[in-house]
Amino acid sequence: MRAEVTGVLYLLGAALCWSTGGLLIKLINLDPIGLAGARSAIAGVLIWVYSRKLRPTMTRELLLGAIAYAGTVILFVVATKTTTAANAILLQYTAPIWVALLSPWLLKESITGIDWLAVLVTFAGVGIFFLGELTVTATTGNLLAVASGIFFALCILTLRKGRNGSAIHMVLFGNVITALLCGPFLFGDSLHANDVLPLVLLGVGQLGLGYILFTKGIAHVSAMEGVLIPVLEPILNPVWVILFVGETPSAHAVVGGVIVLAAVTGRAAFKARYTETRTSRRTE
């Protein structure tokens, strides 16, 4: 019981760290691609220090997962700079739906009725996002956020397919790839004094510490808790931006976001409960 409580606290800490991403990205006046590289470089150092005693098993799936992770974090930063923070995080949160759609081809796993229902409801929510964004810039940002969700789904799928990989090593290698690809975009861009603290917090706290806490916590909680606690991230992310930057999401984004969160968490909670029920019956 004590281990489970500790796991819940780790996950709460991870969700809180991740939720600061939108605010910190908005506060930093750097090229978004260069910013993604700087954030990953800082996070990569922290994660390397944390995981240096572990011995990763390099597999094709782990490498592909790291590449997909790099795509996830790059697209998320650019999307957050291009559209509202609420749109960026909520549209990225469609990742479990893409997992459901891609699983039959990549993992040979069938799609259930609850999966199809969640897919339809999620797409309805995503459609509402785009109804409220009529400018080219905002629409581009929303598309990048959706793409970020697809890349994140590929991270999940490659890890599940590989089985031998470690999530923390995928994150480490993904940050290295991001830093190498995006770092050159910082040349010619000036880092102002006001950008230093948010950038350090973004790399150390939001990305690096967030993933360390998540990997430590997920091993000690139930499937249901592992699904529901991280939902705090897309809820809190736009709240911090509203409070400190004054960026308010549109009515369409609020409605679409509620629909997406309901579909994704409802599907995940149903599957987690179903898995726990089957497991408990086998042990009786």
Identify the band that residue 88 occupies on the pLDDT scale cut at 50, 70 and 90: very high
Q: Which of 8-12, 44-48, 90-94, 129-133 has the lowest mean pLDDT?
A: 129-133
113-131 and 136-162 helices cross at what angle (nearest 10)?
Answer: 160
What is the band of 130 on the pLDDT scale with cuts at 50, 70, 90? confident
Task: Give the Cα separation of 35 and 41 in Å (integer).
Answer: 10
pLDDT tens digits along 176-196: 999 999 999 988 778 889 999
**How many structural domains compose the chain?**
1
- The residue range of the domain holding 183 is 2-283
Tell me which amino acid residue 25 is: I
Is the pLDDT score of 223 beyond 70?
A: no
Q: What is the pLDDT of residues 25-82, one digit of tens each?
A: 999 999 999 999 999 999 999 999 998 888 777 788 889 999 999 999 999 999 999 9
172 Cβ contact list (under 8 Å, min separation 6)? 44, 47, 48, 51, 66
Per-residue pLDDT band at 275 (split at 50, 70, 90): low
